[in-house]
Amino acid sequence: MPDNNLEGSVPSDLGHLSKLNYLSFARNSLTGEIPESIFNISFLNTLQVQTNALSGEFPSRAMISNLNTLYCYTNHITGNLPSYFSNLSQLVELDVSNNSLYGPIPMNLGSSKYLEFLNLGGNQLSGEPGVPELRFLSSIFNSSSLKHLFLSRNPLDGIMPDSFGNFSYSLEVFFATACQIKGPIPKTIQLLKNLTFLALSDNNINGKIPSSIGALEMLQRLYLENNKIEGLIPNELCLLRNLGDLSLGNNQISGSIPNCIANLWRIQRLLLSSNGLTSAVPVNLRNLENLLFLNLSSNIFSGYLPPSMKRSVAVQIVDLSHNEVTGNISSIVGAFPSINSLSLANNLFIGSLPQTLGDLKGLEFLDLSNNNLSGPIPKSLETLKCLNYLNLSFNQLSGEISSSGAFINFTALSFLENRGLCGRPEFGVPPCMALGTQKSKMANHLLK
């Protein structure tokens, strides 16, 4: 009886239906505990009580040896994971995420040889008390059928064991974000041959990215942002030809981006912000024809952008802010005709703003602040109907600020510290007539 706006508690009399094999109360407003009697229906094959307001603990005993699907996610269930979960030999899918479960994850939780899907995320589960290694991972990964493992948002507070990848040929998706995981990524990660999705972001992982990661040829998404990873980006990453997302932001990675990154032709999101990456922005990034989102902000990139860049109609977001890049911005403007967000703030760009900015019809966000740009603000910006954020502050721009088109929505915050600008008072600049009069008076004074 899913999606029926049911309220109240789950009737304990359901336990008398001894031949029942399927029971679903999903997505209702049920409260109270799950009756112990339901966990004694030996024929029960599927139990779905997800997305309610159920509370209390799981029963301490159960006789549900035929259960293959248990969905209890998004409730208020508390207590430990019961030991009998490890004895459900027919279990295929177990999802108890987004509850208030606590205590150590049982060592033999993945003992069911049929287990394919395990989601424990969004609880207060941990590793073994006093044991630095997360040994339960070795046990879970021994499940020969496991394809999807979700542990995110649990205070696991431990180190991934060296046996991390043993026998885990079936695993395709591994999520363990915001788990207080520490220590390095084990070299044995190379054994997860069928892994397509690896997310270990928002932890305390340190050390280098192991070169063995290049063996994960099926990998499509790699999220390691917000850790303490150091060292260089290994060239072996370039072997991941199926990679679509690479997120290494907010770590302590240094050196340059490997030239072989251009081999990742399927990549759509390249996120390397807030590291210590140096040298010039690689010219061959222009070969990433499927790239949608490029974030290289808050690094130490320097040098010039190429005078001509390969045109890419795919790119939507580019953030090169907070670096030391110089040169003219014309090439980057012409390279991304479909862009909707461009930030080049806090760099050393020089020259004028190109009229071709007005050709970026989908542009919504433009931040060129804190550079050495000069000359007038192109009137072509008036035509950008989607532009809702503009920051040209702290440059050396001059001339009149338009008061029509897209400029109607902007304030003085868009134009701070450009002493040559003039226009309407709401822009925080002197009126253009006053500037003209002042110049005329100065000229007359010089002629006397």
Amino acid at 88: L
Q: What's the CA dihedral at 75, 81, 84, 88 to 10 degrees?
A: 60
Asked if 177 contacts 205 with a C-beta cutoff of 8 angstroms, the reply is no
Give the model's pLDDT for residue 39.
95
Asked if 400 contacts 429 with a C-beta cutoff of 8 angstroms, the reply is no
Distances 129 to 18, 176, 392 between C-alpha atoms, Å: 39, 19, 54
Phi-psi region of 291 (alpha: psi -120 to 50; beta: other; left: phi over 0): beta
Give the model's pLDDT for residue 155.
98
Give the model's pLDDT for residue 423.
96
Tokens of 351: 């020259």
First to last CA, the chain: 95
Tell me the pLDDT of the chain (448 aa) as tens digits: 787 788 999 999 998 998 999 999 999 999 999 999 999 999 999 999 999 999 999 998 899 999 999 999 999 999 999 999 988 999 999 999 999 999 999 988 877 889 999 999 999 999 999 899 999 998 887 788 999 999 999 999 999 998 766 656 889 999 999 999 999 999 999 989 999 999 999 999 999 999 999 999 999 999 999 999 999 999 999 999 999 999 999 999 999 999 999 999 999 999 999 999 999 988 888 889 899 999 999 999 999 887 667 778 899 999 999 999 999 998 888 888 999 999 999 999 999 999 999 999 999 999 999 999 999 999 999 999 999 999 999 999 999 999 999 999 999 999 999 999 999 999 999 999 754 444 444 444 444 4
As a whole number of angstroms, the distance between CA 322 and CA 153 comes to 31
Q: Which of 151, 144, 213 is nearest to 179 (CA)?
A: 151
Residue carrying the six token digits 């397509």? 196
Asked if 315 contacts 341 with a C-beta cutoff of 8 angstroms, the reply is no
Show the domains of the chain with their CATH numbers: 280-448 (3.80.10.10)
As a whole number of angstroms, the distance between CA 399 and CA 345 comes to 21
Q: Which of 284, 277, 281, 321 is nearest to 300 (CA)?
A: 277
Residue carrying the six token digits 């020089």? 350
Give the model's pLDDT for residue 110.
77
